[in-house]
Structure 1
Amino acid sequence: MTDSTRSLKDRPLKTTEELRTLIETLLDRASGRRLWLLFIDDRGCLGDPLIPMDDYPPDPTERTRTDDLGEIDHGSLLMHRIGMLREVTGNEAVVLVWERLGSSAVGADDRLWARAMLDAATELDVPLRAQFVLHGTGVRELQLSDIA
């Protein structure tokens, strides 16, 4: 761990703007389609681990079957697993960053996934602090009005 990474991990993220700036510092600009999982620890700082997820399904409402949960939609399954990771790692909250090429405009895919994850987090009682889009020119927070 470098000194700059260590200092980033010791900086409380009290505001959404501080969180947005951290994401921009860590991830910079989009290079493809992936979901980044960030965790916030009990101090309100960036927790471990930082997880990139390639190849998440195109549709969060599509159903799948798992041995432990039975038939479930992809969004709920993903949030269930994220919630388990949060608990195992001892973190307090989750931040999702949807990386994709293109502009800062919120698209249909952004809305579909962000809404599904918000709904699943609420249903599963997973503390979802914020969601962002990492696009071709920076980072944009997804507001409730963006995903309604």
Structure 2
Amino acid sequence: MTKLNAEDATQLPIPTDDDVLERVAVLLEGAIRRQLWTLYLDEHDVQLPLIIPTAGYPHRPDEPTPEGTAAELLANRIAEIVHTAGAAAVVIAWERPGSPESTSADRGWARAFADACRERGVAVRAQLIVHDDGVRWFAPDDYL
């Protein structure tokens, strides 16, 4: 898939890992700045017409906020969106310039975020890294 318009995105399911990777790669070709992207899926693995970038998230997931840690705050916000949008799952794309290899900071965020989402009953379909040369999966050992 080389191009994707909004109508196609809301009609073509993305049920497999390869489909998820391809969809994110089409939407986010490579890293420009450090930010987080969330894509929401319905119960049939069809992308909802909602993609949210979040720039400037803290460098550490355990950074304190008035609502707990930074990871907990982010998971709270995403849980609210999941509930409001009627999503069944969320895809997380961690955009950051650099190599495709995950760093300890990448793994720390992915792990803390996965845990916080699990505690809130939010299904995380996938976590990916958007890097200088494209998109890659986090290895399961990186955050499970």
Q: TM-score, normalised by structure 1?
A: 0.90
After superposition, give the CA deviation of every residue in 1:64-93 in whole Å (9 maximum; x if it has no partner): 114xxxxx1110111011011111011111
After superposition, give the CA deviation of every residue in 1:13-35 in whole Å (9 maximum; x if it has no partner): 11011010000001111101000
CA distance in 2, matches of 1:91, 1:39: 6
Unpaired runs of at least 5, structure 1: 67-71
How far is the alpha carbon of 1:113 from its aligned partner? 0.5
Q: 2:14 touches 2:46 (CA, 8 Å); kept in 1?
A: yes
Q: Percent identity?
A: 34
SS at match of 2:61: coil
Aligned structure 1 segments of 4 or more residues deviating by more than 4 angstroms: none
Match of residue 37 from structure 1? 38
CA distance in 1, matches of 2:53, 2:20: 17
Residue identity matched to 1:65: P
Residue identity matched to 1:110: D
1:141 aligns to 2:137 (yes or no): yes
Match of residue 100 from structure 2? 104
Q: 2:110 touches 2:142 (CA, 8 Å); kept in 1?
A: no
Of structures 1 and 2, the larger Rg is shown by 1
Residue identity matched to 2:107: R
Q: 1:48 touches 1:89 (CA, 8 Å); kept in 2?
A: no
CA distance in 1, matches of 2:133, 2:114: 25
Match of residue 94 from structure 1? 90
Residue identity matched to 1:89: A
Match of residue 20 from structure 1? 21
Q: How does 1:123-138 map to 2 (within 5 A)?
A: 123-138=119-134
